[in-house]
Amino acid sequence: MSERRESGFKQRTRLTEATARLRDIVDPVDRTERVPVTSAVGRVLAEDVPARRPVPHYDRAAMDGFAVRAEDTFGANARSPALLRKAEATPDGESGEDDASGASDCETDGSPVAPGTAVGVHTGSELPAGADAVVKIEDVDVRGDDVEVGTAVAGGENVAPVGEDVPEGTTIFEAGRRIRDSDLALCKSVGAMRVEVVARPTVGVVPTGEELVDADPQPGEVVETNGLTVATLVERWGGKPAYRNVVDDERHALRAAIERDLTKDLVVTTGGTSVGERDLVPDVVSELGEVLVHGVALKPGHPVGFGVVRETPVLLLPGYPVSCLVTAVQFVRRAVKRAGRLSLDPHPATDATLAEKVTSEVGVRTFARVKIDRGEDDGSDDGPDGVGSGGDSTPTARPVRTGGAGVLSSVAAADGWVPVPESREGIPAGETVTVEDWEYQP
């Protein structure tokens, strides 16, 4: 029997120290892959993305109106308009006379604009050859075949020249950027249809426990959910999980399961990390490599640990569902993000008034599950100790549960959790707290 089983967790590592040590053993992956840009959202660029063509790639009208030679409008004003002949684009590329009204009836195909003529264009139309400006439609009067221009325009006015938005060869995105949905349009516009991105870190997810079954549990059996949850989160956080079958609490089986996934960037086990007779995972990892941390001052989830086996980080998550979830968010998320070169953005947070006191232990980081009440202000005090809507627009946070590491329904009922610092012995009702929405992922 190991010292761990004899003494339990008399000393536990502070959360900040544990996460710092985890960072030291996780290396960013150096593999890359080229993927269609439409599949690259959320991925990190491994190379700069250059503009393979300019945007726009032709001189285009920036306004509805008439394409003209700017010099033909010099001196024009409302009292003394410039008189131009209305022309239209013709299939053979020559200018011809138009028969009727305005710019909406004629659109250029690149026909040249002769001196003293004007060709109707729409916003986005190619600027016809010979023209160097566009007169806005509201600044002209069309009288038959004549176009009276009531204001002078300068060369280039109301024209978007080639490369005005993005010159050819410009780096639109640098390596290290995480591609966003809004980036796709620019990539496609400049001809970057495939991009080089950092490969997703691979993660072996190994649920352990001879009592676990896939479905229809008998007395003494439990449906396996921890591994499934972790695998789903790993994918959301940018990793590529391999969700394995349940492994029994037996040394040889556990050893083989961990060794099988040492080709992955990370290995995550669930269950078997506490101090019972069947909690063998830490011992097996110690036999194969080294356990660096086992026992962290957080609640729920203090039996969490991690180590290294043949240069591969192995994270050991507790078997209670809520403990597994909390430690996955605190440790696995950090490891996957670092391995995938992704930034560890803070969780979205909501300030709320605590409706009931939350208890915690000094020296332990506690994650108290709460439900947020954003109800209409009715002027009433509907919470214990007078805490409620009560004329205050601040949302109310109602504790769902602080303890109960095995009560999975408490997570589904909660909107987030309140991290209680190690220095506090609980938080009284009425205090403003920060509720972290750990499930939201940008």
Residue 43 shares a structural domain with residue 190: yes
10-residue mean pLDDT profile of the chain (442 residues): values are 54 94 97 96 96 96 96 94 84 44 42 89 94 96 94 96 96 96 96 97 97 90 94 96 96 97 98 88 97 95 96 97 95 97 93 94 94 69 46 83 62 89 95 91 56
Residues 221 and 215: their CA atoms lie apart, in Å, by 10
CB atoms closer than 10 angstroms to residue 401: 18
Residue 127 shares a structural domain with residue 172: no
Residue 400 shares a structural domain with residue 272: no
Residue 221 shares a structural domain with residue 335: yes
Residue 426 shares a structural domain with residue 361: yes
The residue out of 309, 339, 369 marking a domain boundary is 339
Phi-psi bin for 227: left (phi > 0), alpha (psi -120 to 50), beta? alpha
Residue 108 shares a structural domain with residue 248: no
Domain that holds residue 427: 350-436
pTM of the model: 0.81
Peptide bond between residue 300 and the one before it cis (omega within 30 degrees of 0): yes
Residue-level pLDDT at 278: 85
Identify the residue whose tokens are 């139309």.
125
Judge contact between 221 and 259, C-beta under 8 A: no
Structure tokens at 13: 């590592």
Residues 197 and 194: their CA atoms lie apart, in Å, by 10
| CATH code for the domain in which residue 86 is found | 2.170.190.11
Residue-level pLDDT at 3: 52
Number of domains in the chain: 4
Residue 44 shares a structural domain with residue 185: yes
Q: b/e per residue, 361-396, with b = 16+ CB within 10 A?
A: eeebbbbbbbbbbeeeeeeeeebeeebbbbeeeebb
Residue 99 shares a structural domain with residue 135: yes
Residue-level pLDDT at 375: 73
